[in-house]
A and B are shown apart, each in its own frame.
Chain A
């Protein structure tokens, strides 16, 4: 092997790290190679075949996502053959799923349609009557699998297995029947599934989709993404609230793309799905105080005075350690700091705890 550690892609000499793939080397140099079944957090499947490129010396085109760059390898991504294959793959997937973009993107965006717009297709082929089965009997509240949109790229099963280590879903059956299934087609809630929704997030076609957002009926492209911090625990995961501005409503929560925030594209069941409290009629939106057993709205000043008087009274009657302070895991670090400050400085007690501390 030569000392020169570069791969030639479309005439550009690019350096690469040992073990790096053609795709990784190309992306660093901003040479675009389309992918459907690739996610850099997962073992490449090489299944969608849209990233095939020509490699000098190889009779067949090679998957850029899975082919390691080697010294002096000559790769071509802009040939007629490569382009013809991209169009072929896109026509295939469109024939196998839903050709009409409006229908396909009723909830989530479709990467297949996006790529078809960029790269074109080999024409609209007669739709395939696919025997892929869904799981209509699944009673979980959050995730729906729509087999008519599935391209069997296995991103969801690999994510479930490799990132979450949950292995609740699998590629099942064979050939044309290949689909995404749980063991014995059970509901997700009867499996090891933790309802993290990562399968929805990695799905390039909206085959895995959010039930609640689907019911709301507005596609993601018509929603505005508002970046926020999940406050269910102290990790600080970044979330994108998908807001329907007309209705002033959070329709769903998605994770920012992998590699951009601390949570690297991941969320848990709470962060992704436990958001119905936002618009819940029982949600408290102003301070309430109780008079003669009845709650009534009050100002913050009045409410805080009531709390202070009550706490000071307990301290006076029963001593400092009759009080205990427990804060929520949904508080920020600063808020928790203030809580213990309140306990120790104002009431001279060490009875302070936080529900996420065990």
Chain B
């Protein structure tokens, strides 16, 4: 007998424990949850980790891993008879070419880090102090005080949008509806980005404390942490920190904590797609407005914040908003920059917001070879030419340069890089990861990839109409994925016209 009310939020857990999309499982989960079987099939086929449970070793074919020989790795695995498939991105750009066997041991990561510094808000190498003193300050001084400090800090969303944190916090706090949610966006998926992974692995208490502060300030009863599925041990690290903090009596007992796995869909890093996933649905971004601060998880006011943003909160409250603001060079705060690609020491480097790539490269041991181009903020930021390495790496400067800081996943390309190939790699990524909901993105990403392949194959006219396609994708897509998906190609065409034939510039 079916449950009286469909339990949609249980669909993922049930599908996962049943072993993903395999014969009989859709019906089984339907009987358990009461959700229509077709809906369960729609969900199971949407998420890579559920749709292909027997894919074997996943080999990352993101740009950084491609540069480091992902294709060769795939071929080698095939030769030795190991089942393997290519995968959009594994979030291990520091280990390129990365591979992951979901059945095997959790992958270890060993990125380089910037040395500890007193002006870092997160400081990945600091001994974990886990004092929870900021949370106690909120108890003593109140939510309004905390919100004022967050406002004074000028903290902007580190997930990539750069939206002022205090506006979201105040918006949720100001809602009449009292059922409110805090959601931690730990679905870090932008190729070139692996900072949130390291924050949770090395400083999980900052995240737990930041979340507890947010829940207290916004009077939320539930905290949901949505953690990228490809990051097995990361969720465990966060849960262990919660247990520790609880055991020591640091946390309010009336807040409920929930940990949810992602199941392999880049788009769920988009906040409203993430909410859909939490609700047990296909991760298709919602139309905005209304924004999640008003209509979020389960239709209730919801604060969604990136891991790095949340992890900045304890330092902001302990040391003051003004301190955080001053820690940045061109914009507030210190910032985690991920460096990968053709760099000597790929890693996560904390630096004042607005540092230049030239300075970051010095920390990372320099470029392997001669720099030709870089992506300042993951695949979505397109490419900039080498002569822009003195640009301040902040939200405003990069936006004005036609790019974006995004999640600060900096991928460096040396002069052996074929920009047509690089653009094609990004095009493949976006085509694979488009949710398929809106036509500009669903069809546009296919057109871009196929045109690039034809161009590479010798068809000089293949890119003739691509500018119009790119215009429409940018103007008409529902969410940031589609709006940014043509940027790798258009920026490569802009800065490296000789590689795309003169006609196209």
Binding site for B on A (CB under 8 A): 44-49, 52, 60-61, 63, 66, 81, 84-85, 88-89, 91-93, 95-96, 122-123, 125-126, 128-130, 151-152, 161, 167-178, 181-184, 191-192
Nearest chain B residue, comparing its CB with the CB of A52: B476
What A residues does B471 contact at CB under 8 A? 84, 88
CA distance A340 to B207 in the complex (A): 78
Binding site for A on B (CB under 8 A): 23, 26-27, 30, 36-42, 45-47, 51, 265, 282, 287, 431-440, 442-447, 450-451, 454, 462, 465, 468-469, 471-472, 475-478
CA distance A174 to B444 in the complex (A): 14
CA distance A163 to B338 in the complex (A): 49
CA distance A181 to B42 in the complex (A): 8
CA distance A186 to B462 in the complex (A): 39
Q: How far is the CB of A268 from chain B (nearest CB, A)?
A: 20
Q: How far is the CB of A8 from chain B (nearest CB, A)?
A: 19
What A residues does B38 contact at CB under 8 A? 167-170, 181-183, 191-192
CA distance A311 to B462 in the complex (A): 82
Point out the residue from B40, B434, B439 that lies within 8 Å of A174, measured CB to CB.
Answer: B434
Given contacts A63-B287, A92-B444, contact A177 B439 (CB under 8 A): no
CA distance A192 to B27 in the complex (A): 12
CA distance A93 to B447 in the complex (A): 11
What B residues does A96 contact at CB under 8 A? 439, 443, 446
Given contacts A63-B287, A170-B41, contact A85 B476 (CB under 8 A): yes
What A residues does B443 contact at CB under 8 A? 92-93, 95-96, 128, 176
What B residues does A125 contact at CB under 8 A? 447, 465, 469
Are A171's CB and B438's CB within 8 A?
no
Q: How far is the CB of A84 from chain B (nearest CB, A)?
A: 8
What A residues does B436 contact at CB under 8 A? 152, 171, 173-178
Are A175's CB and B442's CB within 8 A?
yes
What A residues does B45 contact at CB under 8 A? 172-174, 181
Are A89's CB and B478's CB within 8 A?
no
13 A-B contacts, Cβ less than 8 Å apart?
A: A49-B438, A88-B468, A89-B472, A126-B450, A126-B451, A126-B465, A128-B443, A128-B447, A168-B36, A174-B45, A174-B435, A176-B431, A176-B442
Are A176's CB and B440's CB within 8 A?
no
Q: How far is the CB of A261 from chain B (nearest CB, A)?
A: 29
Interface contacts beyond A170-B41, A181-B38: sample of 14 additional A-B pairs, CB < 8 Å, sorted by A: A44-B287, A63-B287, A85-B475, A96-B446, A126-B462, A152-B436, A167-B39, A174-B282, A174-B433, A175-B432, A176-B431, A176-B442, A183-B37, A191-B38
Are B440's CB and A175's CB within 8 A?
no
Q: How far is the CB of B173 from chain A (nearest CB, A)?
A: 22
Are A172's CB and B440's CB within 8 A?
no
Nearest chain A residue, comparing its CB with the CB of B465: A125
Q: How far is the CB of B50 from chain A (nearest CB, A)?
A: 11
Q: How far is the CB of B52 from chain A (nearest CB, A)?
A: 11
Are B446's CB and A176's CB within 8 A?
yes
Q: How far is the CB of B32 from chain A (nearest CB, A)?
A: 14
What A residues does B27 contact at CB under 8 A? 183-184
CA distance A47 to B435 in the complex (A): 11
What A residues does B37 contact at CB under 8 A? 183-184, 191-192
Nearest chain A residue, comparing its CB with the CB of B459: A126
Are B282's CB and A46's CB within 8 A?
no
Point out the residue from B41, B438, B472, B475 that lies within 8 Å of A183, measured CB to CB.
Answer: B41
Are B475's CB and A89's CB within 8 A?
no
What B residues does A85 contact at CB under 8 A? 472, 475-476
CA distance A28 to B501 in the complex (A): 50
Are A184's CB and B26's CB within 8 A?
yes
Are A175's CB and B445's CB within 8 A?
yes
Q: How far is the CB of A95 from chain B (nearest CB, A)?
A: 7
Nearest chain A residue, comparing its CB with the CB of B474: A60
CA distance A99 to B167 in the complex (A): 48
Q: How far is the CB of B371 from chain A (nearest CB, A)?
A: 32
Nearest chain B residue, comparing its CB with the CB of A45: B437
CA distance A81 to B476 in the complex (A): 11
Given contacts A126-B450, A191-B37, contact A92 B440 (CB under 8 A): yes
Are B41's CB and A60's CB within 8 A?
no
Nearest chain A residue, comparing its CB with the CB of B447: A128
CA distance A302 to B393 in the complex (A): 98
What A residues does B439 contact at CB under 8 A? 47-49, 89, 92-93, 96, 151-152
Are B445's CB and A88's CB within 8 A?
no
CA distance A163 to B117 in the complex (A): 61
Q: How far is the CB of B191 from chain A (nearest CB, A)?
A: 16
What B residues does A183 contact at CB under 8 A? 26-27, 30, 36-38, 40-41
What A residues does B433 contact at CB under 8 A? 174-175
Most buried by B among A85, A168, A173: A173
Are B440's CB and A89's CB within 8 A?
yes
CA distance A175 to B465 in the complex (A): 22
CA distance A48 to B472 in the complex (A): 12
Are B41's CB and A172's CB within 8 A?
yes
Nearest chain A residue, comparing its CB with the CB of B472: A88
Q: How far is the CB of B349 from chain A (nearest CB, A)?
A: 32
Across the A-B interface, the 3 shortest Cβ-Cβ residue pairs: A178-B436, A170-B42, A167-B36
What B residues does A126 contact at CB under 8 A? 447, 450-451, 454, 462, 465
Point out the residue from A49, A123, A167 that lies within 8 Å of B465, measured CB to CB.
Answer: A123
What A residues does B469 contact at CB under 8 A? 88, 92, 125
CA distance A178 to B282 in the complex (A): 11
CA distance A326 to B432 in the complex (A): 62
Nearest chain B residue, comparing its CB with the CB of A66: B287
Are B476's CB and A181's CB within 8 A?
no
